[in-house]
Amino acid sequence: MRPRRFDVLGQLVESLAEASALVVLDNCEHVVDAAAKLSEELLGRCPKLRILATSREPLGILGEHLFPVGPLRLPDGGDVDAATAGTFPAVQLLQDRAAAVRPGFTVTGDNVTPVVEICRRLDGLPLGIELAAARLRTFTVEQVAARLGDRFRLLTGGSRTALPRHRTLHAVVAWSWDLLGAREREFGEALAVFPGTFDALAAAAVTGVADPDTFLDALVDRSLLQVAGDGTVRYRMLETIREFALEELARHGGVGPARAAHAAHYLALLEAAEPHLRTAGQLEWLGRLRPERDNLHAAVAHVCDAGDALTAFRLGAAAGWLWTFEDNHAEAAGWLERIMRVPGAVPADLRVVVLAVYVVNSGFAGDFQYNPALLDELLVLARSVPPGRRHPFIDLIEPVALMFRDDSERGEAVVAERLAGPVDAWTRAMLLSLLGHMRENDGDIDGMLQALDAAAVQFRKVGERWGLSMTLASVADAYRRRGDFATAVAHFEESIDLHHQLGIKTSESYQRINLASLRRHTESPEVARAELRAFVEDVGSASRDVSHAMLELGHLARADGDLDEAERLYVESWRLQDVAPLVAPQYRAIVLTGRAQVDVARGELDIARARLAEAIGLAIPVRDMPVVGQVAVAWAGLVRAQGDPLTATAILGAAERLAGVRDLSNADWTGLLDELRAELGDAAFDAAFARGIGMPRAKALELVTPA
């Protein structure tokens, strides 16, 4: 009798039909159709069978459960210490493989930064990390990190026993890429111009495919795209795959057209969004724009490099307001300056908006000094734009310039002219806000509050949260100085809530520290101290916020008579200001003033005088009269310590004339006034004080400047 002959499938079925077994099919992507047919047949005929298939795309059969295997976990952006980095699988793999070629290699505080950079730039891809670790036989980690700009040339030389497609990083990506159809490859290459995540609408605009979902799904299925983000579906291409796709796009001559389409899409998005950022709809539009940050920057870079001045200025004008209240002023100024360097004819209305936003951001990003020549150019450009074509910013330019120049009289007149004209509610609110700050600089606190209250009404009418928040913070500060601490707290709390809605963390932290400082008056110094210490101890706090909190803690320590602790806190606050970005000169002035008051308490008057001279030199040029008042109070204390109570009293009068109000939250101010009145008697005190408060502004500034 001849034995029966079975085909391979039949033999498998016979062996597995009754068994509770697991079959593993590895690397199915290159035979995906055959693997799918085999799996479907086996599962249909073997009821207890389970199949585990690894593939760069799904098999696409009934009953399939997908378990995407992403890159190895790695540290998020920002600095990380060696111990923390070592808890992430990507770093662990690099350390293990590096130790195999360089015995004794470990991740330390000295090399953690380049180690993490290698893992991040290789997207946590295990093969890429293994190839990078192999290069540590001859390179340092710093050298490998620096060479990853050409990763495909660097990361070669894998195991000789591996399949050819696993020996180099380029071969790994090329193997997956070659499995795509021609249309899918062309589509994927165009997506490489997105440096950040993107949505289907953007993909359609850049690739020219009206309905891109099928292509996007195909690339996701093959692990060449990742789905990113919560809520709205967005996509991202790992940097390693993106670099490969860009090379392919360049080889086919498609980089220029794809980048141009990318820039055109984001220009249209920005120009549609820009008016809404000054309305109640700003949260919705911020939600749409914030994920596009890298794409917006890429669009600006492309048109600047291409010398397309008109598109560059349109992008700058449309993005300027977004960049301004997103709080990264140095970055915004850098992009705007790059736009302004592009040669070519540009309509005056575009040029003036870009220049105006640049002036504001460069001032905030630097030392808050403004180039007079730039202000002159800005004014000339603004006056050349016909009223019918004016962006809302243009009506604000002359009042802002006059405020910077300390010409409040002319500034108030210009604001009145603008308010009498046909301006929209947002511009009206901003003009009233500017008017309030001009009046503050003139010492007119009642007029300031009147203007700011009117501004708040207009901001509420249009629903613009940023302007309302900033206005409420200024109002809160005025009530704080008047001694109405409960009202100040209420305004600060609303301002903080608005910032929280907007997601602007930097300004929110600043106001939270101000609110914590107020607790010494509304609750107790202990409550204030606890809230301020929480900022100092929070590892997530920015250095400038820690500096601000330490400054306030220094004031509390000095009020308790603990001069050593106060000095320690002031010194540390100053040190942190040196390393923090965007520290206003007036904050340095306040730290110097606190240290000078410690010096006066110790009898070190010459040292105190030098500090106060430096402090007043920082505060006056930025026209921060409340801070000038604080410095003046310390100067009055020093003059009194020198034995001249009459001049000290006159200085306090001049301080009140400049600041517009006696700061009732400042115990140094109120305490020194009481002590001088007791020392001099009412008549002499009143005469000396009247002499100071009645001085013209220039004379008052002269008196409060330490000699």
Helices (H) and strands (E) counted in the chain, each on its own, are 37, 4
Q: What percent of the chain has pLDDT over 90?
A: 50
Question: For position 557, what pLDDT does the model report?
Answer: 96
Q: Which residue has the tokens 């000054």?
A: 278
Choose between 635 and 409: higher pLDDT: 635
Tell which residue, 511, 520, 515, 405, has the closest CA to residue 466.
511
The pLDDT of residue 325 is 79
Please give the pLDDT value at position 369.
Answer: 59
Residue pair 627/617 in contact by the 8 Å Cβ criterion: no
Instruction: Tell me the three state secondary structure of residue 31.
Output: helix
The predicted structure's pLDDT at residue 150: 58
Torsion 600-604-606-608 (CA) sign: negative
Burial class from Cβ neighbours inside 10 Å (0-12, 13-18, 19+) for residue 370 reads buried
Cβ contacts of residue 601 below 8 Å, gap of 6+? 558, 563
- Whether residue 427 has pLDDT greater than 80: yes
| Average pLDDT of the chain to the nearest whole number | 87
For residue 590, what pLDDT band results from cuts at 50, 70 and 90?
A: very high
- Is the pLDDT at 404 greater than 60? The verdict is yes
Question: Are 24 and 52 spatial neighbours (Cβ–Cβ below 8 Å)?
Answer: yes
Name, of 173-187, 324-338, 459-473, 575-589, the range with top average pLDDT. 459-473
Q: Which residue has the higher pLDDT, 152 or 59?
A: 59
Say how many CA atoms lie within 13 Å of 592 toward its Cβ: 23
Cα distance between residue 301 and residue 307, in whole Å: 10
The angle formed by the CA atoms of residues 593, 658 and 439, to the nearest 5 degrees, is 125
Residue 226 is classified by DSSP as E
CB 240, CB 232: distance < 8 Å: no
| Residue among 121, 67, 66 nearest 90 (CA) | 121
- Whether the CB-CB separation of 650 and 688 falls below 8 Å is answered with yes
pLDDT digits (tens, 9 = 90+) for 535-576: 888 877 778 888 999 999 999 999 999 999 999 999 999 998
Was domain 584-707 assigned CATH 1.25.40?
A: yes
| For residue 472, pLDDT beyond 70 | yes
Q: For residues 584, 590, 596 and 601, what is the CA-based torsion angle, rounded to 10 degrees?
A: -160
- Token duo for residue 228: 């990113």
Has residue 677 got a pLDDT over 50?
Answer: yes
* Bridge partners, 198 (sequence order): 235
More confident residue, 166 or 537: 537
pLDDT tens column, 599-626: 999 999 999 999 999 999 998 887 788 8
pLDDT band for position 162 (cuts 50, 70, 90): very low
Report whether pLDDT(36) > 60.
yes
Name 57's Cβ contacts closer than 8 Å, sequence gap at least 6. 29, 32, 179, 218, 221, 222, 223
Handedness of CA 458, 464, 469, 471 (dihedral sign): negative
Residue 390 pLDDT greater than 90, yes or no: no
Q: Tell me the DSSP string of 504-522.
A: -HHHHHHHHHHHHHHHHHH
pLDDT, mean of residues 174-181: 78
Whether residue 586 is predicted with pLDDT greater than 80 in this model: the reply is: yes
Supply the pLDDT for residue 581.
57
Mean pLDDT of 363-374: 67
Note the helical H segments in 366-407: 372-384, 394-404
> 51: part of which helix (H) or strand (E)?
strand 50-53
Length of the chain: 707
Residue 475 and residue 449 in contact, taking contact as beta carbons nearer than 8 Å: yes
Instruction: Assign 227 to helix, strand or coil.
Output: strand
pLDDT single digits (tens) 629-649:
999 999 999 999 999 999 999
Which pLDDT band holds residue 148 (cuts at 50, 70, 90)? Answer: low
Domain-by-domain residue ranges, the chain? 1-67, 82-171, 584-707
Written as six digits, the tokens of 511 are 């106001």
